[in-house]
Amino acid sequence: MKKNLKIAIIGAGCRGNAYASLFHKAGTSISAMAEPRLFQRNSAAQSFNIDKTHIFSDWREMASLPKLADAVVIATQDNMHTEPALEFLRKGYHVLLEKPMAPSPEECISICNAAKKSGSIFAVCHVLRYTPYFRKLKELIDSGLAGEIITLRHIERVGYWHQAHAFVRGNWRNTSSAAPMIIAKSCHDMDIILYLTGKKCRRVSSFGSLMHFKRENMPASSSGRCMSCPLAEGQCPYSAKEIYLNSRALKGKFGWPVDIITNDLSIEGVKKALLDGPYGNCVYNCDNNVVDHQVVNMEFDNGMTSSFTMTAFTPDGLSRETEIMGSKGYIKGDSNLITTVDFASGKKQLFDITRTEGLLDDGHGGGDNGIVKDFISAVENEDQSMLSSGPEISLEGHLLGFAAEKSRINGSVEQLASLNVCHQS
């Protein structure tokens, strides 16, 4: 068993930093970092006490040197995953790769092939799989309580302000620089449906569009920028003033998502970012093109059906709901509570996941912490099976998402050939 692991962070933005903190907290050392932005690079280097000679402004500089760590966390933007993933795998690093794997099926397949060929430990950050909530849901399904799953309904409530932040004004707003919504955001959901059911999807269809956040919906009196807009206080749900300054989304603290829009977290700093930057744009005046609502219908090999809804238009961001309708019982979860009903006995049970110890301490319902712990164990024991989001299973969810997107665009029903496309080559 290898101990005292060294981890390198590629991209010290929001996610790279979150992982660096969790790996650091778990007792591994952050031995190297690549990050072009000076502020992010300096603050991460200081927080994790990284040797100056192991700090780089581009991952390529690091990749050109002999290995500086046992593993890399690749947390660059969606369209910058493939190159570093292939290169660090080639160099013999273990790899923890942020989702989505990549914005095209071909790139995802090439990463999967490279990961398998390398023999390195490899996982995609499908953090939902590592949460106490989804683990409990899976345990209940696998216990047979609901019998055979006949129907599964899953919804992702993105939340009105979260959609505005990330998918209208922010990094994932346009498919010229980011993956489509079903991949960028909902690859988690495609993956979790496959995880929960343990079945293979054979047909998929999808509908959805960008219906609301468009120029024609801009109120006549909008100024186009929130800081000068007469509607910005109390009249517009998407007002950047309300979201970033008046704490509608913030619950009183200037953490995420305000730290995404500026490095200066003073009131003046935030105001300046809203006056000058993209996050102060009217939501009806952006260059966004990703969908704000989408449905996906799936049929599985055994006849089971599943429906998925992603929508921006909910009050609560970041929460998912799943209903499992089986031959013997029913299970419903809302990310916090799970209720079960046994049809034969009529017995009902309630599980409160919010009582799980340490759950509120870290991101994504405990999933960030869960994947870091399992990744460390997998690398220490050189045992890929300790990770549930390895190359092939992660590829499967991505290919399902790409097929759904093809259906949405073409109006087709897509057949999923056996997804055994990840070969050693």
Residue 310 near residue 401 (C-beta atoms within 8 A): no
Q: Which two tokens stand for residue 103?
A: 């914005």
> Residue 138 or residue 364: which is nearer to ligand NAD going by CB?
364
Q: Is 164 exposed, middle or buried (0-12, 13-18, 19+ CB in 10 A)?
A: buried
Q: Which residue is nearest to ligand NAD (CB)?
A: 13
> Residue 58 or residue 139: which is nearer to ligand NAD going by CB?
58
Shortest Cβ 18–ligand NAD spacing (Å): 8
Residue 190 near residue 129 (C-beta atoms within 8 A): no
Q: What is the C-alpha to C-alpha distance for residues 179 and 183, in angstroms, rounded to an integer?
A: 6
Question: What are the backbone angles phi and psi of residue 416, rounded to the nearest 5°?
Answer: -100, 110
Q: Name the residue among 417, 208, 357 with its Cα closest to residue 294.
A: 208
Q: Which two tokens stand for residue 37?
A: 């932005």
Residue 368 near residue 19 (C-beta atoms within 8 A): yes
Shortest Cβ 128–ligand NAD spacing (Å): 8
> Residue 264 or residue 342: which is nearer to ligand NAD going by CB?
264
> Residue 186 or residue 285: which is nearer to ligand NAD going by CB?
186
Q: Which positions lie near ligand NAD, rule CB under 6 A?
A: 10-16, 34-37, 40, 58-59, 75-78, 80, 98-99, 125, 127, 171, 184, 364
Q: Name the residue among 178, 166, 170, 168 with its Cα closest to residue 104.
A: 178
Residues 6+ apart with CB under 8 A from 61: 34
Shortest Cβ 260–ligand NAD spacing (Å): 7
Q: What is the C-alpha to C-alpha distance for residues 425 and 420, in angstroms, rounded to an integer?
A: 13
> Residue 232 or residue 312: which is nearer to ligand NAD going by CB?
312
Shortest Cβ 189–ligand NAD spacing (Å): 11
Shortest Cβ 364–ligand NAD spacing (Å): 6
> Residue 73 or residue 114: which is nearer to ligand NAD going by CB?
73
> Residue 37 or residue 199: which is nearer to ligand NAD going by CB?
37
Residues 6+ apart with CB under 8 A from 119: none
> Residue 76 or residue 197: which is nearer to ligand NAD going by CB?
76
Shortest Cβ 273–ligand NAD spacing (Å): 15
Q: What is the C-alpha to C-alpha distance for residues 30 and 10, in angstroms, rounded to an integer?
A: 11
Residue 166 near residue 178 (C-beta atoms within 8 A): no
Shortest Cβ 266–ligand NAD spacing (Å): 20
Shortest Cβ 223–ligand NAD spacing (Å): 28
